[in-house]
């Protein structure tokens, strides 16, 4: 197959490139040439800008396009319209965040309603607009290429080259040892997908010319936060001491869910970690062992500079202050 990837040099994009090459397909990249521009010198790269400069795509033909970086519906619409006669298949990487899960008791399926916006001209991407904008992007792609769009809604994507640190924090922190603050959320579940599993499965769906919508997260069976921390510790930090800190305390201390304390969501937001992935499993989605994801993520994280500024997780000083406050609040436990 001859594939076009919009993006292709950051996180999921680069893993899609690796999976595509491993499966023997041809690739053309289209991007601005700003992120990792020397990463794939052997590949044809077309330079342009989704916001007004798609001319490099003119007069070309591909079997499918993978849109890894569509966040604004106006720009997705322009890309899909420009490529409607140039490709047979449009693959849009969306997000589980399209679902309004706050306060819900069950996780969303592909048939669940999606977020909406009162003012659909808003293009600023914030925590509140990210999900609705992704939903509008899906609709824009489908309107431009009806019946020819494969929409994948991943949960948290994790693994090597993840710029968000929303998973990497835990292997690195546990490997460092000592007392590690972890959320004591007895009913808390977690869902995420290794970027390599997502990339390989996406390519399989493209080869099968699948369309429609798929939730894509994991693992196949429910995984509690407690199970995750114990498995992660066993793999990279057996000497670490897990200090289970209550959810109400964390909320009282204004600890930021999911970012400052990765993977943790308060109970009223837990539906986001209960997405129905039955359709993806039936379509062949599989998962590598958690231990492999943890070990490989840590190995990659350790290649970064010693003074790297983490984008997710608790700063050491903040963690120690919280542990001190927790001990003072629960003196009988220490």
For 72-103, write each residue's pLDDT tens digit.
Answer: 999 999 999 999 999 999 999 999 999 998 88
Domain that holds residue 227: 169-190+221-268+291-333
pLDDT band at 105 (very low <50, low <70, confident <90, very high): confident
Give the C-alpha separation, 326 to 111, whole Å.
Answer: 42
Q: What 3-state DSSP class applies to 252?
A: helix
Instruction: Say if 162 falls within a structural domain.
Output: no
42 with 177, same domain: the answer is: no
Instruction: Say if 282 falls within a structural domain.
Output: no
Instruction: Say if 183 falls within a structural domain.
Output: yes
Count of Cβ atoms closer than 10 Å to residue 7 Cβ: 23
12 with 149, same domain: the answer is: yes
Mean pLDDT value of segment 167-176: 97
185 with 150, same domain: the answer is: no
pLDDT tens digits along 247-278: 999 999 999 999 999 999 998 899 999 999 99
Instruction: Say if 207 falls within a structural domain.
Output: no
Give the C-alpha separation, 177 to 47, whole Å.
Answer: 45
CA distances in angstroms from 215 to 8, 81, 154, listed in the order given:
21, 25, 6
45 with 92, same domain: the answer is: yes
Instruction: Say if 214 falls within a structural domain.
Output: no
pLDDT tens digits along 286-319: 999 999 999 999 999 999 999 999 999 999 999 9
**Tokens standing for residue 80:** 């899909």
Q: What is the distance between the terminal CA atoms of the chain, rounded to a whole angstrom? A: 61
The chain-wide mean pLDDT, for the chain, equals 96
Mean pLDDT value of segment 215-235: 96
CB 113 within 8 A of CB 88: no
pTM: 0.96
pLDDT band at 333 (very low <50, low <70, confident <90, very high): low
150 with 177, same domain: the answer is: no
Overall number of domains in the chain: 2
Instruction: Say if 208 falls within a structural domain.
Output: no
pLDDT band at 3 (very low <50, low <70, confident <90, very high): very high
Strand partners, 27: 3
101 with 173, same domain: the answer is: no
175 with 80, same domain: the answer is: no
121 with 186, same domain: the answer is: no
91 with 232, same domain: the answer is: no
**Tokens standing for residue 265:** 């969501």
């Amino acid at each position: 197959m001859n594939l076009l990837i919009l993006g292709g040099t950051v996180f999921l994009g680069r893993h899609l490139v690796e999976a595509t090459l491993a499966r023997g397909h041809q690739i053309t990249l289209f991007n601005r040439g700003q992120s990792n521009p020397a990463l794939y010198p052997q590949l044809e790269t077309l330079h342009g800008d989704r916001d007004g400069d798609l001319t490099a795509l003119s007069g070309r033909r591909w079997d499918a396009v993978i849109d890894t970086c569509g966040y604004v519906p106006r720009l997705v619409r322009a890309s899909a319209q420009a490529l409607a006669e140039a490709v047979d298949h449009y693959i849009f990487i969306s997000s589980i965040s399209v679902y309004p899960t706050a306060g819900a008791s069950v996780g969303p399926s592909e048939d669940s309603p999606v977020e909406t916006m009162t003012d659909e001209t808003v293009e600023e991407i914030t925590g509140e607009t990210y999900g609705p904008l992704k939903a509008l992007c899906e609709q824009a792609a489908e309107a431009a290429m009806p019946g020819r769009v494969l929409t994948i809604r991943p949960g948290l994507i994790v693994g090597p080259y993840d710029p968000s640190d929303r998973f990497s924090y835990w292997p690195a922190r546990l490997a460092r040892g000592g007392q590690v603050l972890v959320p004591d959320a007895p009913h808390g579940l977690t869902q995420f997908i290794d970027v390599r599993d997502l990339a390989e499965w996406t390519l399989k769906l493209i080869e099968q010319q699948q369309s429609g919508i798929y939730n894509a997260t994991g693992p196949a069976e429910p995984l509690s936060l407690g199970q995750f921390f114990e498995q992660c510790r066993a793999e990279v930090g057996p000497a670490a001491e897990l200090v289970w800190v209550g959810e109400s305390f964390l909320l009282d201390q204004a600890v930021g869910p999911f970012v400052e304390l990765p993977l943790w969501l308060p109970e009223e937001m837990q539906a986001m970690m209960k997405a129905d992935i039955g359709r993806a499993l039936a379509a062949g989605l599989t998962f590598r062992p958690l231990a492999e994801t943890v070990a490989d993520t840590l190995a990659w994280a350790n290649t970064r500079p010693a003074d790297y500024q983490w984008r997710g997780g608790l700063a050491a000083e903040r963690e120690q202050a919280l542990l001190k406050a927790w001990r003072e609040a629960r003196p009988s436990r220490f």
